[in-house]
Chain A
């Protein structure tokens, strides 16, 4: 196998990290969801590129699911949902933007240091892909912990999951990748539509997780 063209794969994976950073400091809910759509779009391009250079046509399925489902269907559903809940203009208090950004940079540096050192034997493409994928995963977690709103936590989780799909497609020839990515999409649909929209809306006027936090189980 000749060495595949690296630069495009890197550019797309790096683009994913960049969008993750944008999500990190975005405090408007509807803008956050738009960024989530962009995130999924970049992911589907990255996966499609991997499908081409790895000669793995089944990855196209993953790319198409990412595009149709995560870049279009879910963001549209989320936008409509927050509009109906009347929180689409809401500005969220993100815990200290500068501190969050610094933490994000730290996490990316950590991911690069750890993964590049330990994957010396892997092919350069897989190495750097997995390092960038870990960055996206860690940034997704950071988004989840710095948010108070349930919708933004779902957005954080979806970006985290995009990082996992990137890692799985970057590991050449990994079995079950398509199944796992489809299963993840189903899970998210299930969460977004089923539990979340149906139950949380039914019981609460707000989707602020803080409102949920008043219950700690011990103080009843």
Chain B
């Protein structure tokens, strides 16, 4: 096992990179979709292997208890999305929304994006982590614009401009961390090595770390979709292909959050620095309240769930901002379940939009009557994301609200209010989409339900019974997060 660990770590990078290269030249779309699934499966296997055995950290790469959570989750959702994408893309080709050349490009970029995310997750050097996040972001920019409609190009342009500014701020923050570390760790590579940084962060200049964190929070926070910086997110989700919406919400937001958490741990080790949690909790709460209100006026179904992603990222950032073992545990759980649920919702929404030929909520109705499987999986997904029991998100949200009541009653009350407002909005919309008289075309749907059922099954399972090893694992990570 241990001997395989370094190979598994390399496989996480080599598999998507090689697959991207092959997919860029592979002509047939069916073969390409299969290869895409196979490469994603290989990445998942590599990630699962790392669960058992960790390679020793090198100056550039690191697998530890924190990033393995993200790696496993990422490669799992990456795999299920590639399965969903195979059936989704076939339909796009039939309806001539995309040409074969586009599809070749699409599959190559999909793996490139997975490569970027894996790189960001296993990087030990904070510079390399930045490169990974940037690569993943830019590849999604291209994907968002792939339909080349008026709306898609505007969404991609907005995403590019805001994303680039975010990237720039995050790089400046990274440079400042290097400047703070250089007097302590010496010039060169060691001063960017996270394992060394975190050990020595107490000796660094607190003022410089504070400023660095502000830049990092704004920079990576743009990617997380925190509220004053969220403007790109709904557009990008609504205009890109639905598999991309699923990976954006399910994965890319988490990767940016992961970067933020690394720097939070760094600051927590320095006595003189500000408490990064306060800033994170404030931004998180603002995101929850704003997104909850915005949910009411959405007319586009993908945009609706994009705002719901902003809301949930807000809850998660709030939980990590509050800190402490219990809130961190709840935050990790919420993050995992949100990724699974939100991508499952996008799987259903993607097929729904294909059947109905529109994303307008007012033109979709009675889905449970016309397409029972699709309709009920959407109902289950929305019930889960709204926080209804017995789904797991109910439990994690309950944990977050109840732990914060003890420490900041007003904050917890505001959070609970946001949750309730969002709950109302989601259920109203769900009622009109899923129930009542069927509206819009009722033709048959060629869908793959497996990914969506697998995700929802896991979320339901987590709500009923959390296996003790998983609890122990998350509790351990929660303690690491401080």
Contact = CB atoms under 8 A, between A and B. Distances in A.
A218 B134 CA distance: 29
A148 B155 CA distance: 16
Contact of B131 (A157, A174, A183): A183
A168 interface: yes
Interface stretch (B63-71, B203-211, B349-357): B203-211
Contacts of A180: 127, 130-131, 171
B183 interface: yes
A175 B148 contact: no
A59 B472 CA distance: 48
A195 B160 contact: yes
Given A171-B179, A179-B131, A209 B157 contact: yes
Interface string B126-153: 0110110010001001100100101101
Contact of A215 (B127, B150, B165): B150
B187 A172 contact: yes
Contacts, number: 122
A187 B138 contact: yes
A167 B127 CA distance: 14
A121 interface: yes
Contact of B145 (A130, A195, A213): A195
A72 interface: no
B188 interface: yes
A118 B205 contact: yes
A200 interface: yes
Contacts of A160: 165, 168
A168 B192 CA distance: 13
B171 A118 contact: no
A173 B148 contact: no
Interface in A114-140: 114-115, 117-122, 126, 130, 133-134, 137
A202 interface: yes
A153 B175 CA distance: 24
A137 B211 CA distance: 15
Contacts of B210: 118
Nearest to A168: B175
Contact of B127 (A115, A118, A175, A195): A175
A130 B189 contact: no
Interface in B271-304: 297-300, 303
B138 A199 contact: no
A118 B211 contact: yes
Interface residues of A, number: 47
A74 to B, nearest CB: 15
A157 B164 contact: yes
Given A195-B145, A217-B300, A218-B297, A174 B192 contact: yes
Nearest to B209: A118
Interface string A134-172: 100100010010000010010001001100100110011
A84 interface: no
B234 interface: yes
Interface string B182-224: 1100011101100000000000010110110000000000000
Contacts of A167: 172, 175
B165 to A, nearest CB: 6
A118 B127 CA distance: 21
Contacts of B176: 130
Contacts of B134: 183, 187
A172 B182 contact: yes
Contacts of A218: 297-300, 303
B31 interface: no
A104 to B, nearest CB: 17
B6 to A, nearest CB: 22
Nearest to A212: B154
B238 interface: yes
Contact of B179 (A122, A144, A187): A122
Contacts of B263: none
Contacts of B183: 121-122
A184 to B, nearest CB: 9
Interface residues of B, number: 51
Given A122-B183, A175-B125, A195 B142 contact: yes
Interface in A64-91: none
B156 interface: yes
B311 interface: no
B303 A217 contact: yes
A173 B187 contact: yes
Nearest to A176: B127
A167 B168 CA distance: 11
A191 interface: yes
B178 interface: yes
A117 to B, nearest CB: 7
B235 interface: yes
Interface string A182-220: 010001001100010001101100000100110101101
B439 interface: no
Contacts of B205: 118-121
B179 A176 contact: no
A119 B181 CA distance: 12
Contacts of A199: 145, 148, 153
Nearest to A194: B142
A37 B177 CA distance: 30
Nearest to B208: A118
Contacts of B234: 217
B207 A137 contact: no
Nearest to B127: A176
B429 interface: no
Interface of A: 114-115, 117-122, 126, 130, 133-134, 137, 141, 144, 150, 153, 157, 160-161, 164, 167-168, 171-176, 179-180, 183, 187, 190-191, 195, 199-200, 202-203, 209, 212-213, 215, 217-218, 220
Given A176-B128, A183-B131, 20 more contacts: A118-B210, A118-B211, A121-B183, A122-B182, A130-B179, A134-B172, A137-B168, A141-B165, A144-B165, A164-B171, A164-B175, A168-B171, A171-B178, A173-B182, A174-B127, A199-B153, A212-B154, A212-B157, A217-B155, A217-B239
13 contacts: A118-B208, A119-B208, A150-B157, A157-B164, A157-B165, A164-B175, A171-B179, A173-B188, A176-B128, A200-B157, A203-B148, A217-B235, A218-B297
